[in-house]
Amino acid sequence: MGALTRRTLTTSLMVAALAGCTDGSGSAPGSGSDAGGASDSTAAPAAGGAAPDPAAKLATATRQADQFDYDAALDTVDGVDGKDAEDLRTRCHEEKDALVPWPEDEPVSHLFFHSLIVDPSRAFDGDDKEQGYDDYMCTIPEFTAVIERMHEDGYVLISPHDLAEPAEDGTMRPRELLLPEGRTPLVLSQDDVSYYEYMDGDGFAADLHLDADGAVRSRYVDADGTEHEGAYDMAPLLDDYLAANPGFSYRGRKGIIALTGYNGILGYRSSPREYGEDPDALSAARDAAAEVAGALTDSGWEIASHTWGHIDMGEKPLEKVDVDLQRWDEEVGTLVGDTDLLIYPFGADIAGPEQYEEGDVRYRRLRDHGFSYFFTVDGSTLAWQQRHGEYLRQARMNIDGIRLRATAAGEEHVLDPVLDAGAILDPARPGL
């Protein structure tokens, strides 16, 4: 596809992406593998391949215990002598014995965001995109306030894989989730982490990349054209928060990053279909995107399909769904690996709140494609969840301008038990 066609596609999809993954009302019906890999089971090798020193092993084990992974902590500290190690072993046994199971199939809240606004003066500058940004995005201070409040209220980040997993026969079976008494599981996700072309110059981060130490950071270009490296979107912001507050994460879990493919992923123009006119640039973009995706998943993030073209999976003809699935596999799956997580664009599920029918052709197509975990949008409840047959389905609550403004104005009350929307709303928003 040539540049003109691509530009037309990008413009036509801008509204769809801004509408995010909900229609704005939040009223969509009901609207695999262990997500581990984030909780360090062993201390990192010392330079030169030498075994980790006792202090390093103790530090790793302490973090594992802070994140409720007591068996891993005990394994890590095994063989380490001294009072600190003994105290940690005692703590692990005592705290492990005090864990309580989350009730089987009790719905778990799932909050989601879009790209975060770094500079409100550029996002809310009166152009034709201002309303979309105000409706569907949050600013960095708003995101930070939400995370801090949820942590203070005893929530802990988990993965949907911690709630259920496929058995050998494919049936989705519940998993035992053990948490300290008074702690409540929470799933976080972020949609459209592609840094779309239409967002250029509007006060958002430009990409995710690895810094000199291999940590995931954002690149932000300010109004003067100066580039900055730091925490300018959800992934690095949450990484930093968890580094200081490890107890907000269950065994190193972080969140789900939902990717489309038509503008590439993670800020890299990695789509051969859309950017194949410069093979060298395309190859570099794909290599960089794959490197960042690997670093994200290695550190506790999960990646979901948001479809290649941000399409309505319930309304598009099945032939177009098949094409989209193939494009995702060829252009995104080759960079990020397999995923069993599907986050529906617009929150547009393939069914209402009733259970998926095993013989439904759309459901079978998605299951045969490897998806077992499905996510819609529902702004009417803090938690909705359905486990049946071979799948787990959750509704997500959109945290954005629409939801925060309505809650602050007293027009909605679903978020009242968990968030003070009036205090969270950024005064830099239009009209505040």
User: What residues does each domain of the chain span?
Assistant: 3-36+109-157+159-424, 47-97
Tell me how far apart the terminal alpha carbons of the chain are, to the nearest angstrom: 43
pLDDT score of 209: 98
Alpha helices for 51-98 (secondary structure H): 54-66, 70-77, 83-97
3-state secondary structure of 187: strand
pLDDT at 52: 72
Q: Which two tokens stand for residue 371?
A: 């998806």
pLDDT of the chain along its 432 residues, tens only?
A: 333 333 333 434 444 445 545 544 433 333 333 444 444 444 445 445 566 799 999 999 999 999 999 999 999 999 999 999 999 999 999 999 999 999 999 999 999 999 999 999 999 999 999 999 999 999 999 999 999 999 999 999 999 999 999 999 999 999 999 999 999 999 999 999 999 999 999 999 999 999 999 999 999 999 999 999 999 999 999 999 999 999 999 999 999 999 999 999 999 999 999 999 999 999 999 999 999 999 999 999 999 999 999 999 999 999 999 999 999 999 999 999 999 999 999 999 999 999 999 999 999 999 999 999 999 999 999 999 999 999 999 999 999 999 999 999 999 999 999 999 999 999 999 998
Contact present, 416 and 407 (Cβ < 8 Å) = yes
Give the per-residue pLDDT at 33.
37
Q: How far is CA 227 from the centre of its chain?
A: 25
Question: Residue 213: CA atoms inside 13 Å, Cβ hemisphere, count?
Answer: 5
* Inter-residue contact 343 to 306 (CB < 8 Å): yes
Structure tokens belonging to residue 248? 């907000």
Alpha-helical segments (H) within 118-167: 120-123, 130-136, 140-152
Query: Looking at the domain 3-36+109-157+159-424, which fold is it?
Result: TIM Barrel (3.20.20)
Single-letter amino acid code for the residue at 340: D
Q: Which of 132, 288, 279, 139 has its CA nearest to residue 198?
A: 132
Return the closest-CA partner of residue 63 out of 83, 44, 35. Answer: 44
Task: Give pLDDT, residue 37.
Answer: 45
- DSSP 8-state assignment for residue 268: B
Rounded CA separation 264/275 (Å): 9
Using DSSP's 3-state secondary structure scheme, residue 395 falls into: strand
- 126 exposure class (CB count in 10 Å sphere: 0-12, 13-18, 19+): exposed
Contact partners, residue 152, CB within 8 Å, separation at least 6: none
Helix, strand, or coil (residue 376): strand
The span from the CA of 328 to the CA of 311, in Å, is 12
The structure tokens 């925060």 sit at 404
pTM: 0.90
Q: What is the pLDDT of residue 235?
A: 98
Q: Reduced to 3 DSSP states, what percent helix, strand and coil does the chain have, rounded to the nearest 5?
A: 40, 20, 45
Report whether 86 contacts 69 (CB < 8 A): no
Cα 84 versus chain centre, distance: 36
Neighbours of 331 (CB within 10 A): 21
Task: Let me know how many helices (H) and strands (E) the chain has, helices first.
Answer: 15, 18
